[in-house]
Chain A
Amino acid sequence: KQEVTQIPAALSVPEGENLVLNCSFTDSAIYNLQWFRQDPGKGLTSLLLIQSSQREQTSGRLNASLDKSSGRSTLYIAASQPGDSATYLCAVNSNSGYALNFGKGTSLLVTP
């Protein structure tokens, strides 16, 4: 069974810092990996999707990398802003089925 772990569970940084969120998964046989953002009381917003054949994806200040062989992904946020404060969820689309397996998320607070 696919297990997804996110570290750290919570992170607080001052505005302007670059930061890295980590995601690890136990079964490397995946179709893709997706990073989401969730604001309090809201649904999930898709940030980046990395196919299993890709190494990284970029969107604006966000860069996500994927190392399938080691079962790891990172989400890099450059020049953080208070508006980036949210919970970031990593999810894997596994070989064993098509539903996403989610981590518990990293709660990010960017202080002015």
Chain B
Amino acid sequence: EAGVAQSPRYKIIEKRQSVAFWCNPISGHATLYWYQQILGQGPKLLIQFQNNGVVDDSQLPKDRFSAERLKGVDSTLKIQPAKLEDSAVYLCASSLDPAYNEQFFGPGTRLTVL
């Protein structure tokens, strides 16, 4: 069974530039999550999708971050414009059922904003 795929693995940009990350969840997983992990911290949820609908985006900085999940499969997370404090690892995860099932994580995208 293929795992969660993410790309790119690494990205370096200047502040105020834009960047996009892509995630392909495990086949059949209806729930998809984007987490932000700052160095030395545990991951923090940015947004949660159930199929192609948003369940929770309360911690997403909506003035600069956006995310979509077209057709309930792949998802993209965009930052525009980026700030220095956005430097982090962006992790995508998926699960069959949000309440009871395991969440499986992709390798992450490490973003450095200069």
Instruction: Mark A residues whose CB is within 8 Å of B.
Output: 4, 31-32, 34, 36, 41-46, 49, 51, 89, 91, 93, 97-100, 102-105
B99 touches A103 (CB 8 A): no
B12: which A residues are within 8 A, CB to CB?
none
Residues A42 and B108 in contact in the complex (CB < 8 Å), given A99-B56, A100-B43, A105-B42: yes
Q: Roughly how many angstroms separate A36 CA and B104 CA in the complex, as a whole number? A: 10
B91: which A residues are within 8 A, CB to CB?
43-44
The chain A residue with its CB closest to the CB of B9 is: A41
Q: Does B21 contact A (CB under 8 A)?
A: no
Residues A46 and B42 in contact in the complex (CB < 8 Å), given A41-B110, A99-B56: no
Pick the contact of A46: B6, B44, B99, B102 (CB < 8 A). B102
The chain B residue with its CB closest to the CB of A102 is: B42
Residues A34 and B100 in contact in the complex (CB < 8 Å), given A43-B108, A89-B42, A105-B42: no
A51: which B residues are within 8 A, CB to CB?
100
The number of chain B residues with a CB under 8 A from chain A is: 27
B56 touches A98 (CB 8 A): yes
Please report the number of residue pairs spanning A and B whose Cβ atoms sit closer than 8 angstroms: 61
B76-108 to A contact mask, C-beta < 8 Å, 1/0: 000000000000000101000011111111111
Overall SS of chain A's interface:
strand
B56 touches A91 (CB 8 A): no
Residues A93 and B107 in contact in the complex (CB < 8 Å), given A43-B91, A99-B48, A99-B56: no
Residues A34 and B103 in contact in the complex (CB < 8 Å), given A42-B108, A98-B55: yes
Given contacts A34-B102, A93-B98, 9 further A-B contacts (CB under 8 A): A49-B102, A51-B100, A89-B42, A98-B55, A98-B56, A99-B45, A100-B103, A102-B43, A105-B42
